[in-house]
Chains A and B, each alone.
Chain A
Amino acid sequence: MTKQAGISMGIVTAVVLAAGYGMYFWMTLEPVLPVGVRYADVEAEIDAGTWGNKSGGGEDVNIEGTFKMFEGEAAGESQSWSNFRGEDFSNVVKNSVPLANSWPEGGPPVMWKVKLGEGHGGAAVLDGRVYILDYDEEEKGDALRVFSLKTGEEIWRRWYKAPTKRNHGVSRTVPAVTEKYTVTIGPRCYTMCVDTETGEYRWGIDMVADYGTDVPLWYTGQNPIIDNGVAVLAPGGTALMMGVDCETGEVVWETPNPDKWRMSHSSIIPMTLHGKRTYVYCTMGGVVGVSAEPEDLGTLLWKSNEWSGSVISPSPVQIDESRIFLTAGYGTGSMMMEVKKEGDAFSAAPIYALSVKEFGCEQQTPIFYKENIFAIMPKDAAALRGQFVCMNPDGKLVWTSGQTERYGLGPFLIADDKIFILNDNGIMTLINASLEGFTKLAESRVVPGHDAWGPMALVDGLLLLRDSKYMLCLDVRAH
C-alpha cells in the first residue's frame, strides 16, 4: 500500500469512527419531550366540559383585525349580485344581457383570475366591486377581499386572525353587501360588519362565544343577509335567529330557541307567505318561519320538525304564497311543505315527501324557474345519481340529463334562459333552461382545479366562479 493510499484510508476510517460515535452519543440522549400518542382522552374532556366542537369561541379573536389598501379601483356602475343567490335569492339573473349560446375552443374568455385560499367562498358584487370572504393561509385568518370587477385587481382587504384547520378547504360563505354595509360570516362563525366602500370596521360577533353556536360539521355554510339595515343571522344556541343593527352592532331582536335547534349549512331565505314577510330557515332539528314584519319582528310564526336530516346544506325554496320546497342529500330526500294561515296563526305541514332516489340535492340549493324545480341529484340517488333534473311542483320528474351527463356537488345558475352547471372538476356545461328536455349548448373546462363547489355570480354578462384555489371572471356575453 502506498503512502497516499494509507493516508486516505486513515481519513476515511477516522470519519467513520467519528460518525459512529456521534450517532451513539445522540441515541443515548434523553428525548427533550416525551413522545406519546396524540389522542385526547375523550371521557376526561367530557368531564372537564371541554368536549364538543371547539372550532370557534374560547379564543380571543380580534374581529376588527387588520386593514390594507391596494391599487385596484372599482369598475364603476354595474349590475349587482349583492348576496347569496342574488338580490331575490332565486339564483336566476334578472334582466341579463344576451349571453353566448356557444363558446370558442378553450371556453369563454377569461377576464381575470386571482388566487385564493383553499375553500368555497363565493362572490357578491356591487357597484363594480367583487366581495369575497377568503381564508388567508399565510396569515391564518378570514379575509374580506374586494376586487375590481373589470380587472380583478384587489382594492382593499380586511382580515382577522382565526386559525382554522382545513376540512375540505376553509372558506365557505358569500358576503351580504348593501350600499352602506357588508356583513360576512366566517367558517368558524365569526361575524363581521364593515363599511361597503371604505372597509371601515363597524362591529363583530363571535357566535360561538356569545350564543353558544355549535359550528356545523366542516364549518358553517350559512350566508348572512341584510334586511333594511339589519343583519339577520341564525346562530342556533341560545338564539334561533337574531337581527343586528348594521350601524351600531346592537342586537335589535332575538328569537328564542327552546328546542335548541342547531345551526345548519343552510341560509335564511326571506319569503312572503300569505302576505307576511317571513325569514325561513332550515335548522338542524326542523324548519322555521320567523316574522320579518316590523310589528312582530323576530317572532316565531311556525315551525316543523317533520323536516330534518344529518346534514342540511340547501336552503329552502319558495314555490308560491303557501308552499316551500326543502331538500338535502346524505339520505334525506325532499319535502314540499305547506304553510297555512288560520286567523293570525300560522302552521306548517308536509304535503308530500320524496326519497333521495326520487329527488334530492346534496350541497347546492335547487332553482325554481318556469314553475319547475331544477337541481342535481345526489350521489345516493341510485340510477339518477349526479343527473341534472327538472321536476314539477307535484313531485314528478319532467326530464333528466341522462346516464352520460352526470354532475357533482358544483353550483348551477340561470341567466338569459340558460343554465350554467359547473362540475366538481371545473367543467362548465351550458344548457337550455327548457321544460322540454336536456339540451346541451356548450361545454368546456373553465377552472383548472378540483372541488369547484363555491356559488357563482353573474353580472353584466360576467360570470364569477371558482375552484378550491382560484376565482375567475369569465365573459359569457353574446358577441
Chain B
Amino acid sequence: MADETKSKVMERMEFIRSSLGKFAALMLGLVSALAARGAKKNNTLWQIDPFKCTQCEKCATECVIDPSAVKCVQQYPICGYCRLCFGYFTPTAPKLTSAAENQLCPTNAIERLFVEDPYWEYNILEDQCIGCAKCVKACEMFGNASFYLQVRHDLCVNCNNCSIAMACPSDAWERVPIDQPYILKA
C-alpha cells in the first residue's frame, strides 16, 4: 500500500516535471519563432515610390549623409532619346549644348551623348548626383518620365527613422523587402 502510494507520488512528480519541461520547450519555441519573425521583418530597406514622388527636392537636403543616398536613375526603355531633353536642358536654353548655362542639373550629373540622328543618350553620373529631382520634375512634365529618384543601397545607411521619409510631403517613402530593393517603373 505504501509502495503504491509512493509510486503514485513518483508518477505525479514525473508528470509535473515532464509537463513543465514540455511547457518550457513550448515557450522557448514560441519565443524563438517570434524573434525570427521580428528579425525577418527588419530585413527591409527604404525606397521611393516614383509614382508618388512629387520632386519636392527634400531628398537632396534631408538625408543624414551628404551627398544624399538618393540618386536619379534613368530607365532607358522609357526614354525618348530626344535631342531636346527637358530633363537635361533648361526651358530657356539658348543652345542645345552641354554648356553649364543650358543645363537644368546644378551639378553636371547628366551625361549627354550623341548616338545617331535623331537619338541622344542621357546617363546619370551618380557620383555627382545629389538627388535634387530637378531633372525628374522636368522629364515627368515634358518627357517620358524615364528619370526618377531611387535610394541607392550601397550608400544608404538604412536609418530606422529615415529623416527624408519623415520630411516627404507625398508619403512616397516605404519599406521594401531586402530582396526587392528598388521600385521600378514598368
**Chain A residues packing against B (C-beta within 8 Å):** 38-40, 42, 53-55, 165, 167-168, 217-218, 310-311, 329-332, 379-380
* B141–A380 touching, CB < 8 Å: yes
B77 on the A face (CB < 8 A) = no
Could you say which residues of chain B place their CB within 8 Å of the CB of A330?
Answer: 86, 91, 142
Interface string of B101-115 (1 = CB under 8 A from A): 000000000000111
Q: Which of A40, A217, A311 contacts B116 (CB 8 A)?
A: A40
Known A39-B113, A168-B80; contact A331-B91, beta-carbon cutoff 8 A: yes
Q: Which residues of chain B (66-91) have a CB below 8 Å from chain A?
A: 80, 82-84, 86, 89, 91
Contact with A along B34-53 (1 / 0, CB 8 A): 00000000000000000000
Q: Which residue of B lies closest to A37 (CB)?
A: B113
Q: Tell me which residues across on chain A come within 8 A of B80, comparing CB atoms.
A: 167-168
Q: How far apart are B74's CB and chain A's nearest CB, in angstroms?
A: 16
Does chain A have a CB within 8 A of B161? no
State which of B92, B115, B141 has its C-beta within 8 Å of the C-beta of A310: B92
19 residue pairs bridging A and B, Cβ less than 8 Å apart: A38-B115, A38-B116, A39-B113, A42-B114, A53-B118, A55-B117, A165-B117, A167-B80, A167-B82, A217-B83, A310-B89, A310-B91, A310-B93, A311-B84, A330-B86, A331-B92, A380-B91, A380-B141, A380-B142
B15 at the interface (CB under 8 A from A): no
Q: How far is the CA of A163 from the CA of B115 in the complex (A)?
A: 17
Chain B contacts to A: CB under 8 angstroms: 80, 82-84, 86, 89, 91-93, 113-119, 121, 141-142
Of A167, A310, A329, the most chain B CB neighbours within 10 A belong to A310
Q: In the complex where A330-B142, A331-B92 touch, is A310 in contact with B118 (Cβ < 8 A)?
A: no
Q: How far is the CA of A473 from the CA of B116 in the complex (A)?
A: 38
Distance of A276 Cα from B8 Cα, bound (Å): 124
Q: How far is the CB of A314 from chain B (nearest CB, A)?
A: 15
Q: How many Å from the CB of B91 to the closest CB on chain A? A: 3
Determine if B117 and A39 form an interchain contact, defined as CB atoms under 8 angstroms apart. Answer: no
CB-CB nearest in chain B for A51: B114
Residues of the A chain whose Cβ atoms lie less than 8 Å from the Cβ of B117: 53-55, 165
The interface residues of chain B lying within 8 Å CB-to-CB of A218 are: 82, 118
Q: Which residues of A contact B119 (CB under 8 A)?
A: 165, 167
Distance between A262 CB and nearest chain B CB, rounded to angstroms: 12
CA–CA, A39 and B113, complex, Å:
7
Nearest Cβ on chain A to B36's Cβ, whole angstroms: 44
Bound state CA distance, A217 and B115, in angstroms?
Answer: 16
Query: Could you tell me the distance between the alpha carbons of A379 and B144 in the complex, rounded to whole angstroms?
Result: 13
Chain A residues near B86 (CB-CB < 8 A): 330
**Are B115 and A39 in contact, with the CB atoms below 8 A?**
yes
Set of chain B residues within 8 Å of A38, measured between Cβ atoms: 115-116
A38 to B84 alpha-carbon distance, docked (Å): 20
Q: Smallest distance from the beta carbon of A163 to chain B beta carbons, Å?
A: 12
- Residues of chain B within 8 A of A165, CB atoms compared: 117-119
How many Å lie between the Cα of A202 and that of B118 in the bound state?
A: 31
Nearest residue (CB) in B for A330 is B91
Q: In the complex, what distance in Å separates the CA atom of A167 from the CA atom of B116?
A: 12
Q: How far is the CA of A330 from the CA of B121 in the complex (A)?
A: 21
Chain B residues with Cβ under 8 A from A42's Cβ?
Answer: 114
A168 to B79, CA, bound (A): 11
Q: In the assembled complex, how far is the CB of residue A380 from the closest CB belonging to chain B, in whole angstroms?
A: 6
Chain B residues within an 8 Å CB radius of A168: 80
Once bound together, how far apart are the Cα atoms of A461 and B92, in whole Å? 43
CB neighbours (8 Å) of A217 from chain B are 82-84, 118
What 3 A-B pairs come out closest when comparing CB atoms? A331-B91, A54-B117, A379-B141
Chain B residue nearest to A168 in the complex (CB)? B80
B84 nearest in chain A by CB position: A217
Output the nearest chain A residue to B112 by Cβ-Cβ distance.
A42
A39: chain B residues at CB < 8 Å are 113-115, 121
Given contacts A40-B114, A167-B119, A380-B142, could you give 14 more A-B pairs where the C-beta distance is less than 8 Å?
A38-B116, A39-B115, A53-B83, A53-B118, A165-B119, A167-B80, A167-B82, A168-B80, A217-B84, A310-B84, A310-B93, A311-B84, A329-B142, A330-B91
CB-CB under 8 A from B118, the residues of chain A are 53, 55, 165, 167, 217-218
Cα separation A207 to B116 with both chains bound (whole Å): 22
* A165, B116: Cα distance in complex, Å: 10
| Chain A residues whose C-beta falls within 8 Å of the C-beta of B141 in the assembled complex | 379-380
The residues of A that contact B121 with a CB separation of less than 8 Å are 39
By beta carbon, the residue of chain A nearest B117 is: A54
Rounded to whole angstroms, the CA-CA distance of A165 and B142 in the bound complex is 21
Q: B82, B83, B117 — which one has the most chain A CB atoms within 10 A of its CB?
A: B117
The chain B residue sitting closest to A329, CB to CB, is B142
Assembly CA distance A213 to B83 (angstroms): 17
Instruction: Tell me, rounded to whole Å, the shortest Cβ–Cβ distance linking B92 to chain A.
Output: 7
Please, which residues of chain B bring their CB within 8 A of the CB of A54?
A: 117
Which residue of chain A lies nearest to B140 when distances are taken between CB atoms in the complex?
A: A379
Neighbouring A residues of B82 by C-beta, 8 Å: 167, 217-218
A42 to B114, CA, bound (A): 7
